[in-house]
Amino acid sequence: MSIPSFDELLSTVREPLMKRDTIMRDAIPPEEMLVITLRYLAIGCSLQDLHYNFRVGRSTAGEIVRKVCQTIWDTMREECLPTPTDAAWAQIAATFLERANFPNCLGAVDGKHVRIVKPLQSGSLYHNYKQYFSIGLLAVADANYNFVCVDVGSYGKDSDSTLFRNSTLWNAIGSGTLHIPGPAPLPGTDVRVAYAFVGDEAFGLSTHLLRPYSGTHLTVTKRVFNYRLSRARRYVECTFGILSNKWRIFHRPLDVHIDFSVDIVKCCCVLHNFVRARDGFNFDDSLSVCGL
């Protein structure tokens, strides 16, 4: 994250984070609260490390990180993760056609297991098929490696298809509030095809969700379709990779309460879009802050 981006982020969250000084002690300034949180998210350190590095109590560090994460989500969600309009859907589809050669695509959808420490008295609810404990992150990504929408907090035992069926995205598609454009002709033809998201074999086929053909002995046409769909679907996989390597808190299990873990994941998704929109991958390392 560049210094101008940090200053812009600080100006957005400064007022909600501002606290009054007392006769007992001065309040921690918003600048320090934001730096503590970005440090925690960017390098994946523990709250105990923040205690020693910034000379604040461990419980205070935890309260700061959670407050800042909630504030970033509340104040920047509409800016960084807005509900796409008709024009936005058209732009997303045009970008997928240009970069992935896949027409009428609204985004690539996939689920990610965010590793956590086993919650107390949770049984096997958060134990996934990969044999560790996690919460689910369902996301739709565009061809610019940005998140279009996210749904966080499901049980680790749920499959990607279950995450999708229980998500707000699926409810919005079913209720018709997502403003999905009507069917449009494929390039160079008069055949009108509905706009759809693309996913892997874990998802069920529906009107607005395409998945690859299953099986091994496929015709040439089906193999070509699977290849083209894979080119479009890989964008969400790459987006998850960029998210995890930019915010290295995902490189270790989150050892905080479930609600706190959800706040961290949502905050990182917002910051992912925020940083990519302003810095992308071309900026001067000498102007970076907090190692981002």
- The pLDDT assigned to 159 comes to 81
Let me know if 220 is exposed, middle or buried by CB neighbors in 10 A (0-12, 13-18, 19+). exposed
Residue 17, helix vs strand vs coil: helix
Domain ranges, ordered by start, for the chain: 3-79+280-287, 83-255
- The pLDDT assigned to 160 comes to 79
Question: What token pair was written down for 271?
Answer: 């910051």
The stretches of 44-167 forming alpha helices (DSSP H) are 47-54, 58-80, 86-100, 160-165
Question: What token pair was written down for 214?
Answer: 């299953």
- The pLDDT assigned to 133 comes to 94
- The pLDDT assigned to 285 comes to 47
Describe the crossing of helices 58-80 and 3-17 by its angle, rounded to 10 degrees. Answer: 110
**Type of residue found at 156:** G
Per-residue pLDDT 10s for the chain (292 aa) are 788 888 999 999 999 988 887 877 788 889 999 999 999 999 988 889 888 888 888 899 999 999 999 999 999 999 999 988 888 998 999 999 999 889 989 999 999 999 999 988 888 899 998 899 999 999 999 999 999 999 998 888 888 778 888 888 888 877 777 888 888 888 888 888 888 899 888 888 888 888 898 888 889 999 999 999 999 999 999 999 999 999 999 999 999 999 999 999 999 999 999 999 888 765 444 445 555 5
Element (H, E) at 136: strand 134-141
Give me the residue label for tokens 């958060």: 126
- The pLDDT assigned to 193 comes to 86
Let me know if 207 is exposed, middle or buried by CB neighbors in 10 A (0-12, 13-18, 19+). exposed
